[in-house]
C-alpha cells in the first residue's frame, strides 16, 4: 500500500506572520498521542488516519487554510475540546501533545473506574513520533491556529474558539502544548508506542508516584495543572521543558525500547 505525503499547513504570507511556530518550524522533536480501540482516528505504527479520511471525505485533502473561516473556527473548537464531531466528514484533524505528563494523565483518565468504555491500561496506547523526519508544515501549534481563527468564532456559543483561546493564554495553567496534523499522516519508521500497562510495569508509578492514586484518574486537565504546581513555583509560572524532559525521559526510553522490540518481532515474523 502506498502512503501519501502529509497534507501540509500552508497559510498565505499574511497569516503565516501570525503563526510563529509554523513560520519558524518550531515543533518539538517528540510529539505524543493516546489512542484506544475506539478512538475516532485510526492510529498504527504506519499511519494516523482521521475519521474523515476513513469516510473518503473531500475535506481530508484540503488544507484548513482553504476552508471557510467560520467553518474552520467551529471545527477547531470541537477538535481542541475533544468533543464528538456531529459530522464525521469534519473530523480531518488530529491532536498531538508535547508534554508527556499531559499524555500520561489522559491515558490514566481513560482507565478511570467510571469510564463507560471500561478500558484497561493494556488497551490504552501511548504513541510517540519523531518529528525530525516528517516534512516541515505537517504539524502546527494550537495557539497559532487559535490566533488565526478565533476571530471567526460562533458568537451564539459561549464556549467558542475565542473563549478557548482566552483559557489557554490565561494564568490558570490550561495550556498543554498541543499540536495538530491534518489528513493522513505517514509515521512508518518514525514512531514507537507502548500501552499504559507497559509503562506501569516498567515503573511509571515509582518515577511519578503522584499518578498512582486511582481517585485522581477521574480528572484530566485540572490534575495536570495541580501536578505542575511544584515546577511552576520554581520556574516563575512556567514549567521548564528541560525539567520535564529530564524527569520523564526514562519513560520515553521505555516507549522507544518497546517500539524497537515490536519492529524486531515484526521483522522476524515477516521472515519466518
pLDDT tens figures, 30-89: 999 999 998 888 999 999 998 887 766 677 789 999 999 999 999 999 899 877 777 777
Q: How confident is the model at residue 231 (pLDDT cuts 50, 70, 90)?
A: low
Model pLDDT for residues 127-184, shown as the tens digit of each residue? 999 999 999 999 999 999 999 999 998 887 888 999 999 989 987 778 889 999 999 9
Q: What is the pLDDT of residue 151?
A: 93
Q: What is the pLDDT of residue 1?
A: 42
The residues, any chain, with a CB within 8 Å of residue 265's CB and separated by 6 or more, are none
- Rounded to two decimals, what is the model's pTM? 0.85
Q: What is the pLDDT of residue 187?
A: 96
User: Helix, strand or coil for residue 179?
Assistant: strand
pLDDT of 118 strictly over 50: yes
- Tell me the helices (H) and strands (E) count for the chain, helix number first: 11, 9
User: Helix, strand or coil for residue 114?
Assistant: coil
| Helix, strand, coil percent values for the chain (each to nearest 5) | 50, 15, 40
In sequence order, which ranges of the chain are alpha helices (DSSP H)? 13-16, 20-23, 51-54, 69-80, 100-110, 142-149, 161-169, 196-201, 204-207, 221-234, 241-270
Amino acid at each position: 500500500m502506498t502512503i501519501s505525503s502529509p497534507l501540509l499547513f500552508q497559510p498565505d504570507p499574511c497569516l503565516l506572520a501570525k503563526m510563529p511556530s509554523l513560520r519558524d518550524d518550531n515543533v518539538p522533536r517528540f510529539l505524543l498521542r493516546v489512542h484506544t480501540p475506539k478512538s475516532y482516528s485510526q492510529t498504527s505504527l504506519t499511519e494516523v488516519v482521521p475519521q474523515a479520511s476513513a469516510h473518503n471525505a473531500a475535506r481530508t485533502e484540503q488544507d484548513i487554510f482553504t476552508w471557510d473561516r467560520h467553518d474552520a473556527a467551529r471545527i477547531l473548537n470541537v477538535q481542541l475540546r475533544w468533543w464528538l464531531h456531529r459530522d464525521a466528514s469534519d473530523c480531518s484533524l488530529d491532536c498531538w501533545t508535547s508534554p508527556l505528563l499531559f499524555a500520561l494523565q489522559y491515558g490514566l483518565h481513560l482507565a478511570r473506574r467510571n469510564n463507560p468504555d471500561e478500558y484497561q491500561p493494556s488497551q490504552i496506547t501511548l504513541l510517540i513520533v519523531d518529528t525530525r523526519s516528517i516534512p516541515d508544515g505537517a504539524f502546527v501549534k494550537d495557539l497559532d491556529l487559535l490566533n488565526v481563527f478565533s476571530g471567526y468564532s460562533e458568537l451564539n456559543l459561549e464556549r467558542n474558539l475565542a473563549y478557548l483561546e482566552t483559557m489557554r493564554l490565561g494564568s490558570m495553567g490550561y495550556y498543554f502544548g498541543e499540536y495538530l496534523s491534518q489528513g493522513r499522516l505517514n509515521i512508518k519508521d518514525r514512531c514507537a508506542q507502548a500501552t499504559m500497562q507497559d509503562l506501569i510495569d516498567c515503573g511509571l508509578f515509582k518515577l511519578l508516584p503522584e499518578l498512582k492514586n486511582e481517585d485522581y484518574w477521574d480528572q484530566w486537565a485540572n490534575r495536570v495543572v495541580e501536578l505542575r504546581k511544584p515546577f511552576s513555583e520554581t520556574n516563575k509560572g512556567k514549567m521548564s521543558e528541560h525539567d520535564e524532559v529530564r524527569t520523564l525521559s526514562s519513560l520515553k526510553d521505555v516507549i522507544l525500547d518497546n517500539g524497537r522490540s515490536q519492529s524486531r518481532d515484526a521483522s522476524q515474523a515477516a521472515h519466518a
